[in-house]
Structure 1
Amino acid sequence: MRPSRSRPTAAVYVDGFNLFRRALQGRDDLKWLDLELLSSRLLPSFDVGQIRYFTARVRHVEGKDPRVPQNQERYLRALATLPSVSLHFGTFRADRRWMAVSPLVLDDAGEPRRVLVRKIEEKGTDVSLAAHMVADAMAGTFDVSFLLSNDSDFVDALRIVRERARKKIGLIVPTESAPARSLREIRPDHIRYIKQSALRGSQFPARVVDELGTFGRPSAWEMQKPLSMERGFWPVSR
């Protein structure tokens, strides 16, 4: 993307797990998402020169689809073909832990009764995203910093970008609903909402090419056919 002097520059910081949970979970047909295409749809009046994608490499978890790690690796490979996208990794954890039941129940000794649970979480991605956003702002690499997340943990980072680096801040909400209250209260200069139509129109092509060869969308992520086509009818144009 060649910068235009008539348009402000922007950097986009993508909270990968928040994007997945809010917009893509249960929608396999939308997961083959081209972040450059999505950014150009959402921010047509900006030159988006940097998109940082923060995630953690997942591992197979008992009871889950064993293809999930391989599907993610193929997606990361597709993202790596985009010139403006850089990938940043935290750590994925799936641990067994003893935790108190809810609602709280006390045992005979008056202690909270605990059960063994499986706790799945990612560590380090939020800190990395906030650090890169602030560092880029201080270096003056963009005019506007856009956060793609609805996580209120990023409020302080956005405030520092505005007050200390004196840059404008923007929020890309991964749903069509209102952003978290604490994010609204800092009054971003720009707010965008991700509609399913934008996700559907921002998919990678079925086949992608990199230095290792040609590869495609995971079979589990195949696009869903419209109901009219599944029944043998073609949709009528209006």
Structure 2
Amino acid sequence: MLKLHCLNGYIQNIYLAEYPDKLLLLDGCCRADVDILEDFIINELKRSMSDITLIVVTHMHPDHAGAAKLLGKKYGCKIAAANVPGQWYSGLDGKLMHLTDMLLTLWVAGRHKKAKKFIYYSSSLTPDYYLIDQAGLPGFEDWQVHFTQGHTDRDISLHHQISDQIYVADLMVKVRGKFIPPYPVFYPNRYRKSLIKIKALKVESVLLAHGAKVQLTEQQWQQLIALAPTQPVTHWRSVKTKLKRVLLGKDNSG
């Protein structure tokens, strides 16, 4: 039988699925979350860290991939991620984006009154398992993979069909009681399709990385879909837009 634990991570929820003979970490967490996981698994569950037989990385942001490699190296945990070509943080732009995302993570932690911690992690990932859409998780076939791209090009959600709940990572966030799209959204068309796809599953409950376990009404789904951007919304695009305005302002003043 499945027991699903929700822990308070550095800036996000940590979902750990407990089975009699194994553990499943639904996302790669933040590097700063390793101590939290070790304390909970060893001291609360009285289990071995090597019982984590699979870690899923839903996408490569610091609070979803940051602890995966370290846990894999330290305890032999296998890692699974979407079967998408290439690395998310590729090239010079990718390295800069990787650094920016870590700085944003620290900024969010500060907003939550959390102390600054060492959160550096590798910008590349070579998982043990490459996941395809609609497939079951290796060793955890009661969980079905759904590609829910948009936030990045490799986002996935995990549907536990028996309990009819789905972990959607950053597909949405809940702010002041309202469900809104995440920031950034690199692929708006894919993002809208992802929302429609998950809505159509009509699941009992949705597990948020930034929020909690929620049940969305038809109206809330429609409002969220209506808020989906039609153009990419990224920090890079924001910087370029602001820079262009500054340059145009200088040109006009000349």
Which has a greater percent of helix? Answer: 2
TM-score, length of structure 2 as denominator length: 0.29
Structure number with the bigger relative contact order (C-alpha 8 A, sep ≥ 6) is 1
TM-score, length of structure 1 as denominator length: 0.30
Larger radius of gyration: 1
